[in-house]
């Protein structure tokens, strides 16, 4: 399939299903999780792939979408794929640069001219399946056995596997400078803030992001998620009953915001603050591991998120967890070869190579259990935090209200509204039936 330049790919009218998740470097930013209105009029996809090695068929042309940071490694994987299947076909495999965060819109906007193979975050899967754009994985049982349960679950709709798991590190955790913190210090946010303030430094976290904001709600016993319609949300974060109420979380966040050891700032600003020496701890993900190591050297530490004080008790901070995977266009002219290529670049050997070259956490069970992976604090931290996290499955109306709420909390409720009024407004926005 010959892909047109991404700049000319017009994204057609869409209806919300799921919101785009963090693709590693950026916040989900209320990108619309959407399904093309043209679904059903796309024409028949290529015949379902068999999973068997295709017969000699002359020149096999494939286009692959990849983020710029991964292109050098991908070129190497293309070459090894050609060597593996030398003599079975002549391959012309081209890379086109594209953001993982834009995969859904780019594919559903013009599926016939989209790439044959593309990388994506797990929360885009449902939209692409609903749009008929993803081919099923033919060797599904083999892939399921080889990869971590969470990664497999993220790549499935029901029991059907629609993508090849690639990484298991798309989440966030705590970074800290060991010059200032002991192992005991980083167990609670209270102590982290105390140490930061004592040293006239900061603990950094981005509060104008629903992706990070979920941290305070996830392990409180309150409920939130997407409804069966795949569009709207249910949420009881404003409840006035139970051991932890919505106002308790509001009050806890306002107390944190008022602490001299805290600062709310974008993820990228945390790195700059760490480099400047003003931030000595912060919440981020593996995409910043190399920079943090350069800044703090051997004193770079990474752990699961700490607990925080809410309603007089210590609550484990939660997280959204995510996975990266490789999808295959159901309309690929060389579907079997596209599936073979996706399988190749996500196999155990190449996940190990991806870890070695790019420090990305493998989803493959064997690759993830290697001593080398165990020695990387950031990857171990995101895996440790995963037990306190959930897959990001939210309707689009979550992002704007949560961002606005986070900004109000970080500003210390400058308008002076009652906590119940604040949390009621948040829930009303999240559960609104109209699509923002």
Per-residue model confidence as pLDDT tens digits over 207-231: 999 999 999 999 999 999 999 888 8
| Mean local confidence (pLDDT), 349-357 | 95
111-156 per-position pLDDT tens digit: 999 999 999 999 899 999 999 999 999 999 999 999 999 999 999 9
| Mean local confidence (pLDDT), 248-264 | 98
The pLDDT score that the predictor gives to residue 14 is: 34
Burial 55-89 (b: 16+ CB within 10 A, else e): eeeeebbbbbbbbeebeebbeebbeebbeebeeeb
| Mean local confidence (pLDDT), 15-23 | 36
| CA gap 187, 230 in Å, rounded | 37
More confident residue, 103 or 42: 103
**199 pLDDT exceeds 70?**
yes
In percent, the amount of the chain with pLDDT more than 70 equals 87
85-112 per-position pLDDT tens digit: 999 999 999 999 999 989 999 999 999 9
More confident residue, 10 or 283: 283
| Mean local confidence (pLDDT), 173-178 | 98
pLDDT band at 71 (very low <50, low <70, confident <90, very high): very high
253 Cβ partners below 8 Å, 6+ apart? 207, 216, 409
155-170 per-position pLDDT tens digit: 999 999 999 999 999 8
Q: What values do phi and psi take at 139, rounded to 5? A: -100, 50
pLDDT band at 50 (very low <50, low <70, confident <90, very high): low
**266 pLDDT exceeds 50?**
yes
**29 pLDDT exceeds 60?**
no
| CA gap 92, 432 in Å, rounded | 48
**What's the chain's average pLDDT?**
89
Helix (H, G, I), strand (E, B) or coil at 246: helix
Residue 287's closest CA among 119, 19, 69, 64? 69
**244 pLDDT exceeds 90?**
yes
Residue 402, Cα to own-chain centre: how many angstroms?
Answer: 17
Query: What is the Rg, in whole angstroms, of the alpha carbon atoms belonging to the chain?
Result: 22
| CA gap 215, 224 in Å, rounded | 12
- CA angle at 274 for the pair 177 and 266, rounded to the nearest 5°: 120
The pLDDT score that the predictor gives to residue 230 is: 80
């Amino acid at each position: 399939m010959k892909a047109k330049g991404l700049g000319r790919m017009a994204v057609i009218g869409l209806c919300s299903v799921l919101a785009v998740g963090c693709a590693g470097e950026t916040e989900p930013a209320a990108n619309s999780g959407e399904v093309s209105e043209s679904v059903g009029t796309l024409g028949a996809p290529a015949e379902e792939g068999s999973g068997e090695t295709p017969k000699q068929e002359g020149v096999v042309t494939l286009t692959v979408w990849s983020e710029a940071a991964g292109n050098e490694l991908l070129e190497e994987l293309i070459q090894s794929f050609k060597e593996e299947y030398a003599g079975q076909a002549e391959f012309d495999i081209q890379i086109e640069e594209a953001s993982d965060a834009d995969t859904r819109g780019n594919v559903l906007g013009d599926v016939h001219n989209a790439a044959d193979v593309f990388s994506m975050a797990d929360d885009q899967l449902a939209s692409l399946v609903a749009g008929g754009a993803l081919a099923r994985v033919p060797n599904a049982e083999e892939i399921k056995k080889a990869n971590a349960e969470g990664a497999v679950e993220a790549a499935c709709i029901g029991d059907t596997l629609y993508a090849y798991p690639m990484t298991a590190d798309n989440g966030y955790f705590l970074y800290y400078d060991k010059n200032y913190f002991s192992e005991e210090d980083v167990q609670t946010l209270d102590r982290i803030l105390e140490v930061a303030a004592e040293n006239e430094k900061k603990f950094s976290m981005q509060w104008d992001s629903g992706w990070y904001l979920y941290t305070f709600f996830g392990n409180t016993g309150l409920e939130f998620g997407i409804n069966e319609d795949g569009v709207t949300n249910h949420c009881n974060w404003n409840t006035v009953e139970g051991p932890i109420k919505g106002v308790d979380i509001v009050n806890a966040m306002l107390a944190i915001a008022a602490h001299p050891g805290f600062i709310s700032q974008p993820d990228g600003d945390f790195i700059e603050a760490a480099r400047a020496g003003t931030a000595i701890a912060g919440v981020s993900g593996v995409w910043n591991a190399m920079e943090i190591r350069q800044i703090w050297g051997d004193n770079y530490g990474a752990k699961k998120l700490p607990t925080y004080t809410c309603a007089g008790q210590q609550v484990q901070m939660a997280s959204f967890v995510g996975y990266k995977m490789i999808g295959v266009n159901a309309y690929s002219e060389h579907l079997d070869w596209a599936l073979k290529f996706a399988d190749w670049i996500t196999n155990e050997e190449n996940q190990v190579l991806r870890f070695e070259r790019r420090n990305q956490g493998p989803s493959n069970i064997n690759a993830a259990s290697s001593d080398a992976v165990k020695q990387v604090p950031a990857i171990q931290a995101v895996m440790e935090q995963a037990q306190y996290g959930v897959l990001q499955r939210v309707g689009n109306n979550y992002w704007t209200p949560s961002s606005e709420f986070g900004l109000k909390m970080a500003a210390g409720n400058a308008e002076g509204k009652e906590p119940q009024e604040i949390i009621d407004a948040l829930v009303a926005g999240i559960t609104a039936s109209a699509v923002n």
